[in-house]
């Protein structure tokens, strides 16, 4: 069955960096667009970033543009989110999600999430 | 901030029908397909409806959705206690070049 397992979350000081990973299994990872979505405490879901199957096309929310980088390693079935210059308002549960086919524009499977806390 | 607007809450007794609205604009709902997600805090969000009105396998037919112009709606008929969750509409926004979620609606089963 499809599994998406996030890791790499934790407590980090403002201005520091963190890299999240999302290990995928149970489907052809290299054929799917992948995404990061977050939920801050008491808030709704917020899309963070997307990457196409081949990794050449990437999209970012304005709130993270220039600070976060999405990438993938199709040989390892793993999605990444490099987060730099972290701020308190980046505190959230970060979910990875898969998109079934190019242009589907919806997320069919989600991971359980990993918590990132930015605090001094 | 979210560009798709939903009512913050909705409620009903078991067996009732509840409807959730989602209001957007020409750059998102007006020109793109709408999807709906169910989220129980502490768990992974779940795809409920895709491409405006399609249910993934395993989603009960109590859940239905529609889209008209720059608005969409989700209906839950025969409300059950396990439907208590947060519901989000979502769509791609061509002007923002990104995916946008609604503000979310918390459904309570009385």
pLDDT at A57: 92
Tell me if B99 and A110 make a contact (CB, 8 A cut-off).
no
pLDDT at B29: 97
pLDDT tens, residue by residue, A20-37: 999 999 999 999 999 999
Distance separating alpha carbons of residues B10 and B20, to the nearest angstrom: 7
Give B47's contacts in chain A (Cβ within 8 Å).
106-110
**Average pLDDT for residues B28-37, to the nearest whole number?**
97
The lowest-confidence range among A58-72, A92-106, B55-69 is A92-106
Share of chain A above pLDDT 70, in %: 100
> Which member of B2, B91, B92 has the closest CB to residue A44?
B2
**Is A62 touching B (CB cutoff 8 A)?**
yes
Q: Is A52 exposed, middle or buried (0-12, 13-18, 19+ CB in 10 A)?
A: middle
Share of chain B above pLDDT 70, in %: 99
Does B1 score more than 70 pLDDT? no
Q: State the DSSP string of B54-99.
A: BPPTTS-TTEEEEEETTEEEEEE-S--GGG-EEEEEEEEETTTTEE
Share of chain A above pLDDT 90, in %: 92
Distance separating alpha carbons of residues B43 and A1, to the nearest angstrom: 17
pLDDT at B41: 87
**Average pLDDT for residues B68-75, to the nearest whole number?**
98
> Which member of B33, B43, B98 has the closest CB to residue A47?
B98
pLDDT at A103: 82
pLDDT at A78: 98
CA dihedral B50, A69, A91, A100 (to 10 degrees): 20
pLDDT tens, residue by residue, A61-92: 999 999 999 999 999 999 999 999 999 999 99
Distance separating alpha carbons of residues A8 and A22, to the nearest angstrom: 9
Does A104 score more than 90 pLDDT? no
pLDDT at B16: 97
Tell me if A60 and B35 make a contact (CB, 8 A cut-off).
no
Tell me if B37 and A113 make a contact (CB, 8 A cut-off).
no
What are the contacts of A50-59 at 24+ separation with CB within 8 A? A50/A99, A50/B98, A50/B99, A51/A79, A52/A102, A53/A102, A59/B97, A59/B98
Interface of B with A (CB under 8 A): 2, 32-33, 35, 37, 39, 43-47, 50-51, 56, 86, 88, 90-92, 96-104
**Average pLDDT for residues B58-81, to the nearest whole number?**
97
**Average pLDDT for residues B44-63, to the nearest whole number?**
96
Output DSSP code: residue B8: S
């Amino acid at each position: 069955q499809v599994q998406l397992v996030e890791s790499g979350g934790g407590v980090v000081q403002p201005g520091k960096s963190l890299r999240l990973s999302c290990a995928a299994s149970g489907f052809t990872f290299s054929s799917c667009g992948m995404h990061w979505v977050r939920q801050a405490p008491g808030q709704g879901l917020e899309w963070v970033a997307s990457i196409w199957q081949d990794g050449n096309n990437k999209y970012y929310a304005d709130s993270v543009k220039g600070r976060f980088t999405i990438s993938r390693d199709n040989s390892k079935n793993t999605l990444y989110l490099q987060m730099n210059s972290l701020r308190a308002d980046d505190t959230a549960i970060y979910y990875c999600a898969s998109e079934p086919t190019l242009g589907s524009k919806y997320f069919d499977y989600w991971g359980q999430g990993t918590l990132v806390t930015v605090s001094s | 901030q979210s560009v798709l607007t939903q009512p913050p809450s909705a409620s009903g007794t078991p067996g009732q029908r509840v409807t959730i609205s989602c209001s957007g604009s020409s750059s998102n709902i007006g020109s793109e397909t709408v999807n709906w997600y169910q989220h129980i805090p502490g768990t992974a969000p779940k795809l409920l409806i895709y491409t405006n009105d399609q249910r993934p396998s395993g989603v009960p037919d109590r859940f239905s959705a529609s889209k008209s112009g720059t608005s969409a709606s989700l209906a839950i008929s025969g409300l059950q206690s396990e439907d208590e969750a947060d519901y989000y509409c979502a769509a791609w926004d061509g002007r923002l070049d990104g995916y946008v979620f609604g503000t979310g609606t918390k459904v309570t089963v009385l």
